[in-house]
Amino acid sequence: MQPLKGLKVVDLTTFLATPTTGRILGEWGADVVKVEAFKGDPCRVNQAVVFGMPSSDEENLAFDVANFHKRFVALNLKTEKGLEVMMKLLAEADVFITNTRTKSLAKMGLDWETLHEKFPRLIMGHGLGYGKKGPEKDAAGFDVTCYMGRGGVFGTTVNKGDSPMIPTNGYGDYQCSVF
């Protein structure tokens, strides 16, 4: 069953939480195009180093799990041509998902207000570690800091007198991606 068949999604995401949202949309039948910088999503190399997983062109489990069911394109969004191509993708899209910080999106003209004016029917999903409002809205958010540390999960993984365990990667990311 593919309830989202025919839906077009543009995915400007990195690492795990929001990319996995795109993966789920793809599993449900959406056509998902992931836009990456020329150097690629940092998860292509960083996750393997951090968690000791295999990382090669043939095998990168962290990246693959978060990015199944996607097509990929590399664009330099700091150039006029790269932004022009991105706008063409968005013009044909139903949904835009990103975890790029709000300030960076605004600088490129990819923030909600600008996109809603150009593409009023476009739905935008924005995954941020600390939300869109408040003193830390522009801070980078990662699973270990936002979810495990600040969310209190580390406190549940320790015995008296021990240090908290280091959890498997994506523990909170994968849960957040579903929502």
Structure-token match 């990246």, residue found:
63
Phi-psi map region of 84: left, alpha, beta (phi>0 left; psi -120 to 50 alpha): alpha
Cα–Cα distance, 10 to 94 (Å, whole number): 8
Catalytic, out of 11, 31, 143, 173: 173
Cα–Cα distance, 119 to 93 (Å, whole number): 9
Active site residue 94: no
Token pair listed for 168? 């498997």
Which residues, at least 6 apart from 74, have a Cβ–Cβ distance to it below 8 Å? 35, 36, 37, 38, 40
Please list the active-site residues: 173
